[in-house]
Amino acid sequence: MASWRDNVRRVTPYTPGEQPHVAGMIKLNTNEDPYPPAPEVIKALQEVPAGDLRLYPDPAASDLVNAIAAYHGVSPDQVFVGVGSDDVLAVAFMTFFNSGKPIFFPDITYSFYPVWAELFRIPYETKALGEIFEIRPEDYAGGNGGVVFPNPNAPTSRLENLDTVENILQNNPESAVIVDEAYIDFAGNGKDSGVFSALSLLNKYENLLVVRTFSKSRSLAGMRIGYAIGSAEMIKAMSDDRYSFNSYTMNRTAIAAGTAAIGNEEYFRSCIAKVIATRERAKAEFTALGFTYPEPSGNFIFVSHPACPAKELFSALRSRHIYVRYFDVPRIDNCLRVTIGTDEQMEALFDFLKEYMA
């Protein structure tokens, strides 16, 4: 007789960044924003009536959807929200990648993509990035079941220009193309990051889905808020799938926090500007110490050193309670992904590196 264990769906799970709880630690390993959310967010959370928590939240998260739609100048029926961009992406995988053909994504990319593909039994092919970690759009032409890639990429922090994104869209008119823009607000100098976003292509390509998050530039990783913008047809398909297994994904506090966060553009831009200014100083410090890195466009830098093995450096940093991210996989096993923290945190990091490498 067959055991129930024979019918278990087994996958290699995603490994999230370490979440240590050490007094005085410097946490630069999960790309969280070093600054608190806008004051309006705290006020909104305080004003959620305790009695309302006994009630189910709005399944459509209408307040948040309407705020996002107004912010981006799209119709509410073009917006889908979920519990972080991971939830949004998982629903998108489940909804759009069902042709039986392999989906395409880069070989060095967000490591959740192959996990979802295996979980949902979606065949996939990875496409090798070039020598400077660039996407080669010609690799994404030809029969496939869909395309997904982050821009800027994680973990490399490299940004592809819109010509590359549009080339991929032009070569895949029959496939859903998902552009994961978790870090787009940090692209360029931050003030004109919108010129790099695939959102500007939505009116031209009905098969384009752009995914964003509140976890990075809006300092709300702890609230788990993500969203997608696409055609009304794509959003309805995702909503139908989501409602088929969980109608209440967004809780009341997250809806309130996200809606409030959208409202303070000045604070939002000021935090991005501080991160970018610190990133520019960090680039100079890393360069002076002999590190190399792709030009960063996220709130992190992907560094390597010819004479200082990344794995050893990762362990040495960790022993001092300075946490960065190390990926023990081919092509990038001598690289560290370093989140941009406050100026004080980065100074502590560089003080350690100067001592360690002396």
Q: Where are the domains of the chain?
A: 16-36+266-356, 39-264
Taking domain 39-264, whether its CATH number is 3.40.640.10 is answered by: yes
Residue 42 has pLDDT above 90, yes or no: yes
Is a pLDDT exceeding 90 seen at residue 334? yes
| pLDDT at res. 194 | 73
What span, in angstroms and rounded, lies between the C-alpha atoms of 153 and 159?
Answer: 6
Domains 16-36+266-356 and 39-264 share a fold: no
Sign of the CA dihedral running 154, 159, 165, 171: negative
- Mean predicted confidence (pLDDT) in 166-191: 93
End-to-end CA distance of the chain: 65
Mean pLDDT for the stretch of residues 59-84? 97
For residue 319 the two structure tokens come to 């022993």
Structure confidence at residue 191 (pLDDT): 67
User: Is domain 16-36+266-356 given the CATH code 3.90.1150.10 in the classification?
Assistant: yes
Residue-level length of the chain: 358
pLDDT score, position 136 = 97
pLDDT in tens, 230-239: 999 999 999 9
At residue 95's C-alpha, the angle toward residues 92 and 97, to 5°, is 85
Q: What is the mean pLDDT of residues 39-47?
A: 96
pLDDT score for 207: 98
Answer whether 180's CB lies under 8 Å from 145's CB: no
Q: Which pLDDT score is estimated for 190?
A: 65
Does position 192 have pLDDT exceeding 80, yes or no? Answer: no
Q: Mean per-residue pLDDT for 326-331?
A: 94
